[in-house]
A and B are shown apart, each in its own frame.
Chain A
Amino acid sequence: MGSESTEDIEIQLLLEALYQRYHYDFRNYARASIKRRLKQARQQLGFRSFSALQDSLLHDADMLPRLLDYLTVQVSEMFRDPSYYRAIREKVAPILHTYPSLKVWIAGCSSGEELYSMVILFREEGLERRTLFYATDINPQALEAAASGVYALDRIKTFTENHQKSGGKSSLSDYYTAAYGRAVFDKSLRSRVVFSDHSLVTDSVFGEMQLISCRNVMIYFDKAIQDRAIGLFRDSLVRNGFLGLGSKESIRFSSEADSFTDFVREEKIYQRRGT
């Protein structure tokens, strides 16, 4: 007890190699989940040990995207937790209407489900045309997937139910065309979206937002980098701007907690303090 297993040491070294060689920093991610993901990667990529995987990662740049896919895999649903989107629609949108122009940041957008949900909601609420959306992620492949807006058709049923429960004013089928088992979302939904590579762990502020939505991303961080990310959000929000988190995330224990007030407490929607 107390002493780390060989496997834990190997994982530590692998994460260090990933950072030093490629500047992807997973060293302060919640370790239990990272370990699960790395085990899966090691097995499926066919390595005998984490050390062998590290050797390949250091000497073969092609291994990086393959490993990143395991480390950042994050499949969400459109309008996941419909009550969150309902709160954005009913409580946040009326205030956003008072701004002549809006910037919205979907941080950790992964393959884009949350982004498209927000753009569709903004279109339904008559806010889309005054809004610029920033969709960021650390995984270039995820950003590509988000920018393509293509999802397996068998996921659409859930998306549609969620959309209706969120108070959707249109039919989700208005926004995609179905072909060959896939739903291709309309490119007009992306006309006001900027996709960009950005890390909450190592990058800084890039704009002043009225709304930031970052759901089930910080749950993977340890406390230190959670604090960093929340500080980054504070500095990226206008006064009285909104921050929406995942349903099991909270800024309550963060050193930045005083910078925000609860706006819709049960949906984890916070508002940056005015002063």
Chain B
Amino acid sequence: MTGTPIEAIVIGASAGAVQALSHLLPMLPADYALPVLVVVHVPADRTNALVPLFQAKSRLVVKEAEDKEPIQPGTVYFAPSDYHLLVEADRTVSLSSDLPVLHARPAIDVLFESAADAYGPALAGVVLTGANEDGAEGLRAIEAAGGLALVQAAAEAYAPAMPAAALARCVGARAMPLAAIGECLLKLGGRGTG
């Protein structure tokens, strides 16, 4: 573990995201002490169906991130479809409709890089299953800022390309199965550590 206590978790997932997050998010208890910000690649439709889905599955508050809202512990924020999700230095959320990055909007890199700026070493980033390379640069930024970099073990991932790309880009990233990632997140923000 790093010396700095972790203050936020960022997660990126693409193909196979629902299944992976359905494993991961229900592991976190209702009194989880950290905020969790999530980018999933979804088509640019009007609504992000992940929010109601995970409201039903998770014990945390699950919501779509709103522009300018302060980031609260014990809350899972999903990026709205067709907008990038960013973290500001004052730990509020901001949205942008800047161009897609690696064809993705929301893009994992945009969330991870801005969060790495805002939280420095107090951030943990997780790259899950996906069939592209989004998240690799972002995870590298988290690692460079002294944060914790976790990657889903490629053997277990529905689509291994994204975790593999992240692992290739981040020398210090640790690859582990979802169950172990969940345990790790629990330790970082479990009861009494907040």
Contacts and interface: CB of A to CB of B under 8 A. Distances in A.
Interface in A62-81: 73-76, 81
Given A1-B122, A36-B114, A248 B95 contact: yes
Contact of B94 (A1, A83, A219): A219
B83 A248 contact: yes
A30 interface: yes
Contact of A32 (B97, B99, B114, B122): B114
* Interface magnitude class on chain A: 20 to 34
Interface string B84-112: 10111100001111110000000000100
A33 B99 contact: no
Nearest to A83: B46
A30 B88 contact: yes
A228 B158 CA distance: 48
A83 B96 CA distance: 20
B114 to A, nearest CB: 4
A33 B98 contact: yes
Contact of B97 (A35, A216, A253): A216
A164 B94 CA distance: 31
A223 B90 CA distance: 13
A37 B114 CA distance: 12
A216 B67 CA distance: 11
B105 to A, nearest CB: 11
Which residue among B46, B87, B110 has the maximum number of chain A CB atoms within 10 Å of its CB?
A: B46
B68 interface: yes
A83 B47 CA distance: 12
Contacts of B80: 248
A220 interface: yes
A32 B95 contact: no
A246 B97 contact: yes
Most central of B46, B67, B89, B99 by chain A CB within 10 Å: B67
A37 B117 CA distance: 14
A76 B98 CA distance: 9
Interface in A4-21: 8
B94 A36 contact: no
Interface of A: 1, 8, 30-33, 35-37, 73-76, 81, 83, 216, 219-220, 223, 226, 246-250, 253
Interface of B: 46, 66-68, 80, 83-84, 86-89, 94-99, 110, 113-114, 117-118, 120, 122
Minimum-distance CB pairs A-B, first 3 = A32-B86, A32-B114, A216-B97
Given A32-B86, A76-B97, A219-B96, 17 more contacts: A1-B120, A1-B122, A30-B94, A30-B96, A32-B88, A32-B89, A36-B98, A73-B98, A74-B98, A81-B46, A219-B67, A219-B94, A223-B68, A248-B66, A248-B67, A248-B83, A253-B68
